[in-house]
């Protein structure tokens, strides 16, 4: 007996439906990256001058896989896996993680916004940082990156929502799940930021709060001690919380980009660590100016003032100047000169005592053994 007509029709529909969906969906995976290396001279690192190869002076050293699948109706499934590495020795960065810079998956909708889950940058890095001098490299950022302006730490186990842009406004919200049984607060992180753009004017404000109160400083936020500006520099983990508020504004016109910013960062210890026995607060104000002199040449200058108070008290005056020469849209030669002058006191490298503060150029290297530090950097960066 032959099969009923309606049965054959149902089977045909079930077979062709997935094929139709596959024909409709368009998936892409993009390989991308940046390579940056330079010859760097410092007049004083610790107690000695130093000449070295040093990467990531203008852009990061990284490669990644960015994927998306069109789900129809303006909706997409997306992911980003991004690896950071030291270009001079090939070692993994971000604590040896394979995808330490980014590792997230999510959904995005033209009308509803974007929801992502995984290891991610916080909302102030997404919305505030692009309006600051950090876009010209870490010589233009906060000494020790005490306020995460140079995104020294990421948030893992996190959920982030980014709204669509409405009338120039965009909102981002983020929560890092600590995953501690019996406590929602322990080891967690929260972050939120709001940005506005109209013509050549942009402004943004946001905060990030991160608790590293688990064993050996475990938490959803990475440990960061770039130099002696921040507490417990060295192998001693920071157990406590970091609360950072960051605001910035930028104006662009006729090849000129000008921006200003302010941040307040509070590092609160959850214990008595010899010299670091109470909250250390960092207030930072900065201004930068970039000028596109010709289609192939740009000059950038910046000034950063950072004052710390609490367990130690120091003032850092930093200036930086940079010349970029664009060989192509992907490849750039650059020269950076920077100077830092410090006074007051900071933490010893092992965190056990208070010592005179040394000049510190951004978060590029260790602090100077004297109040001053000078850097000269000549390098190149290329993107793919």
Which one, of 202, 62, 183, 176, lies nearest residue 122 by Cα? 176
128 within domain boundaries: yes
21 within domain boundaries: no
Asked whether 378 and 325 are in contact (CB, 8 A), the reply is no
DSSP label at 163?
A: P
- Write the CATH number for 322: 2.40.160.10
Run of H or E including 8: helix 5-24
365 within domain boundaries: yes
Look at residue 348 in the predicted model and tell me its pLDDT: 86
Specify the 3-state DSSP secondary structure of 20.
helix
16 within domain boundaries: no
Question: Distances in Å between the alpha carbon of 53 and those of 38, 45, 268, 325, 336?
Answer: 6, 14, 35, 20, 14
CA–CA distance, 46 with 49 (Å, rounded to integer): 8
Look at residue 147 in the predicted model and tell me its pLDDT: 98
Beta-carbon neighbour count of residue 323 at 10 Å?
Answer: 15
282 within domain boundaries: yes
Asked whether 153 and 160 are in contact (CB, 8 A), the reply is no
CA–CA distance, 78 with 228 (Å, rounded to integer): 39
Specify the 3-state DSSP secondary structure of 194.
strand
Q: Which residues contact 73 (CB under 8 A, 6 or more apart)?
A: none
Q: Along the 384 residues of the chain, how does pLDDT read in single tens digits?
A: 444 443 344 334 434 434 344 444 689 999 999 999 999 999 999 889 999 999 999 999 999 999 999 999 999 999 999 999 999 999 999 999 999 999 999 999 999 999 999 999 999 999 999 999 999 999 999 999 999 999 999 999 999 999 999 999 999 999 999 999 999 999 999 999 999 999 999 999 999 999 999 999 999 999 988 888 998 877 788 999 999 999 999 999 999 999 999 999 999 999 888 899 999 999 999 999 999 999 999 999 999 999 999 999 999 999 999 999 999 999 999 999 999 999 999 998 778 899 999 999 999 999 999 999 999 999 999 999
CA 96 from chain centre, in angstroms, equals: 17
15 within domain boundaries: no
Run of H or E including 252: strand 240-253
362 within domain boundaries: yes
Q: What is the DSSP string of 200-213?
A: TEEEEEEEEEEEE-
Number of independent structural domains in the chain: 1
Structural domain of residue 305, as residue ranges? Answer: 30-383
Instruction: Record the pTM.
Output: 0.91
The 10s digit of each residue's pLDDT in 271-309 is 888 899 999 999 999 999 999 999 999 999 999 999 999
122 within domain boundaries: yes
Beta-carbon neighbour count of residue 342 at 10 Å?
Answer: 27
């Amino acid at each position: 007996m032959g099969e009923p007509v309606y049965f054959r029709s149902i089977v045909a529909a079930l077979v062709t439906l997935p094929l139709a969906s596959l024909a409709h969906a368009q998936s892409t995976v993009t390989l991308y990256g940046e390579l940056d290396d330079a010859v760097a001279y410092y007049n004083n690192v610790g107690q000695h001058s130093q000449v070295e190869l040093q990467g990531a002076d203008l852009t990061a050293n990284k490669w990644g896989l960015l994927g998306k699948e069109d789900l129809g109706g303006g909706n997409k499934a997306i992911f980003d896996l991004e690896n950071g590495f030291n270009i001079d020795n090939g070692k993994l960065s971000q604590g040896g993680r394979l995808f330490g810079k980014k590792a997230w998956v999510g959904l995005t909708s033209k009308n509803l916004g974007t929801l992502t889950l995984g290891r991610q940058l916080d909302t102030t890095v997404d919305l505030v940082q692009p309006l600051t001098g950090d876009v010209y490299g870490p010589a233009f950022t906060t000494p020790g990156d005490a306020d995460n302006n140079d995104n020294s730490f990421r948030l893992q186990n996190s959920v982030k929502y980014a709204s669509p842009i409405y009338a120039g406004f965009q909102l981002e919200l983020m929560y890092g799940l600590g995953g501690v049984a019996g406590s929602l607060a322990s080891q967690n992180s929260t972050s939120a930021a709001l940005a506005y753009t109209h013509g050549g004017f942009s402004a943004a404000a946001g905060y990030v709060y991160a608790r590293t109160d688990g064993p050996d400083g475990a938490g959803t936020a990475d440990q960061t001690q770039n130099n002696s500006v921040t507490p417990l520099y060295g192998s001693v983990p920071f157990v406590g919380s970091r609360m950072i508020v960051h605001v910035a504004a930028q104006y662009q016109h006729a090849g000129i980009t000008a921006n200003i910013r302010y941040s307040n960062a509070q590092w609160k210890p959850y214990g008595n660590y010899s010299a670091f026995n109470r909250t250390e607060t960092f207030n930072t104000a900065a201004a930068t100016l970039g000028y596109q002199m010709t289609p192939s040449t740009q000059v950038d200058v910046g000034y950063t003032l950072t004052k710390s108070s609490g367990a130690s008290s120091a003032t850092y005056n930093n200036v930086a100047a940079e010349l970029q020469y664009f060989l192509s849209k992907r490849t750039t030669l650059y020269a950076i000169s920077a100077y830092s002058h410090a006074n007051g006191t900071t933490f010893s490298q092992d965190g056990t005592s208070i010592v005179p503060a040394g000049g510190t150029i951004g978060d590029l290297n260790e602090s100077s053994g004297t109040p001053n530090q000078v850097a000269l950097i000549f390098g190149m960066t290329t993107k793919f």
